[in-house]
Structure 1
């Protein structure tokens, strides 16, 4: 495993870390603590020391599994969780300091921990990033020892740029992959300048960039890759990175030609992300230990050549950029 600094937190974390949206099973399936324990322990055994979760993953069950892992291991494991998505309706007005404080305390109870290494606002509405009183509450929580650092998870580049104007925002979690390249422009430059850690989520575009899907692939009724392609449940950019499924398949076919020696495209897609210095870590998910093994193969891949980097950019520019780039 290789490690990088997580911005001004000072944490040294694994380049490939773990996101736990589906760690208890496949998307939409009932949460399996046995499955979660296997994946989480395999991750730590492989040198992963940064785990990202959220209070809404498995309705708190993911946090419980992560807390159980941390309490059972001797290694230093950094825990990041998120809050805000439990609000119904999920509106700017619903975001109130006392409500967010209660969410933090709920997460501490779920995980059986005394402090959270990193708490992140969980993709709040854009207007929340213009409310200083929300960010000030996390300074108080830090003074009380309930959190160590504040971060944000965002949908849009503009939200990330606004968030890092607040000095207590130490990290930004954002979608970045071969199909979502806009963050590599101004946002990465500003994150580096302000020493803000960048946590990359959805690095494989909901599995599209594994190269394992086809026009005949099907997804269960409870899987967001089935019901959220047009944003019926949440921002459609979280599903296949907002890319039309058939368009994504065609782009993947071209990417296969860019990396012809590798049957599994996922490690190449992850290795591509790690060529960007602003990236602190990637948090691909895993619904079984084999997925974790696949993700970790990226560590053995050579850096893409200049020709390969140019080819990935060409595929993006020709097939993906126009419908995706300007939305997020």
Structure 2
């Protein structure tokens, strides 16, 4: 059960009415700068949570996660060869008609060398059962110069629709910035949260200026944000700003930055995916409220 839930699915303290409330609102969408295609601003990460075996109960739960995400307006699902069986599980579950054509499929290449990269990306497409992938990213910038050349060619050939680069540590932000300024990149993925705000210094603005779409990973800091607020109540002013859980509190802070196209919290819990998706509904904080959110979170 711990494996299914995962670190980033730590307990979410909800207002009782918000667990499975009827959702008549529409998820906020933002344009991918390189094409103008609209993308819903909350998606799904799959590290650990989708690395499961053949258990029927595990597969049923993950199918429900994907179904709920789609029904609530989410679209982007992000994976990697680094994530164990996640790509294969996504491929198997997405054969269902209600899921197959409704997702924006993103994965990564994570190896050294041109031929090894080509083999790995081909294997990923086979595992995910896609003839065309929406987004192929270079995971943690591993041999990125080599893989970029392959990805430019694959994009011309229609094997992939978008090219991206990724990292998960703030120490890589300067290099990510340098690459998006020097190369033709559609997406950049990096870590950003209400407590780890290094991306606000330069990287977010650089992506916006260069017309590069932004995907945010580690929005819950591997679940440690939930530990930090354990026993702490949401402020009285949260609900009036469409914030109904700590998960939404953390996500809405991120989504309020206009450079962010999509945030990808990972979960294998259907209730949590509904709550996460709800962060993409209703109002987003203005700058004054974002500062207030930081102050409340860090107050003793």
Q: TM > 0.5 between the two?
A: yes
Contact persistence 2:43–2:263 (CA under 8 A): yes
Task: State the Cα distance separating 1:110 from its structure 2 match.
Answer: 0.5
Q: Which residue of 2 aligns with 1:138?
A: 151
Give 3-state SS (helix, strand or coil) of 2:138's partner: strand
2:76 corresponds, among 37, 50, 64, to 50
Match of 2:107 among 66, 81, 86: 81
Q: Residues 199 and 185 (structure 1 numbering): CA distance in 2 closer, same or farther, change over 3 Å?
A: same
> 1:313 offset after TM fit, Å?
4.7
SS at match of 1:299: coil
Alignment of 1:43-122 (within 5 A): 43-57=69-83, 59-66=84-91, 68-69=93-94, 72-73=97-98, 75-84=101-110, 87=111, 95-122=112-139
Q: Secondary structure at the match of 1:35?
A: helix
Alignment of 1:1-328 (within 5 A): 1-24=27-50, 30=53, 32-57=58-83, 59-66=84-91, 68-69=93-94, 72-73=97-98, 75-84=101-110, 87=111, 95-125=112-142, 128-129=143-144, 132-154=145-167, 155=169, 156-209=172-225, 211=226, 213=227, 249=228, 256=234, 264-300=245-281, 302-304=283-285, 306-313=287-294
Equivalent residues of 2:215, 2:262 under 8 A apart: yes
Q: Distance in 1 between matches of 2:216 and 2:80?
A: 15
Residues 1:191 and 1:298: Cα distance change in structure 2 (over 3 Å): same
Q: 2:45, 2:78 within 8 Å by CA — same for their partners in 1?
A: yes
The answer to whether the 8 A contact 1:41-1:69 is kept is no
Go from structure 1 to structure 2 and tell me whether the alpha carbon gap of 1:297 and 1:266 turns closer, same or farther (over 3 Å shift): same
Work out whether residues 42 and 264 of structure 2, in 8 Å CA contact, stay in contact via their aligned partners in 1. yes
Higher relative contact order structure (alpha carbons within 8 Å, sequence separation ≥ 6): 2
> 1:76 Cα shift?
4.0
Query: Where do 5+ consecutive residues of structure 2 fail to align?
Result: 1-26
2:46 and 2:86 in contact (8 A); partners too: no
Task: Give the TM-score normalised by the residue count of structure 1.
Answer: 0.70
Q: Give the secondary-structure state (helix, strand or coil) at the position aligned to 1:287.
A: coil
The verdict on how the C-alpha distance between 1:37 and 1:201 changes in structure 2, with shifts beyond 3 A counting, is same
Query: How many pairs are equivalent?
Result: 264
Range with greater deviation from structure 2 (44-53 or 259-268): 259-268
Cα 1:19/1:182, change in 2 over 3 Å = same
Contact 1:80-1:116 at 8 Å conserved across structures? yes
Cα separation, 2, equivalents of 1:36 and 1:117:
21
SS of residue paired to 1:62: helix
In 1, the alpha carbon distance for the partners of 2:132 and 2:281 equals 35
In the alignment, the residues of structure 2 paired with residue 309 and residue 283 of structure 1 have an alpha-carbon distance, to the nearest angstrom, of: 20
Give RMSD over aligned pairs: 2.9
Using the alignment, how far apart are the partners of 1:282 and 1:2 within structure 2? 12
Tell me the CA shift for residue 37 of structure 1.
1.5
1:30-78 alpha-carbon deviations (Å, 9 max, x no partner): 5733322221121111111211111232x23434424642662365421
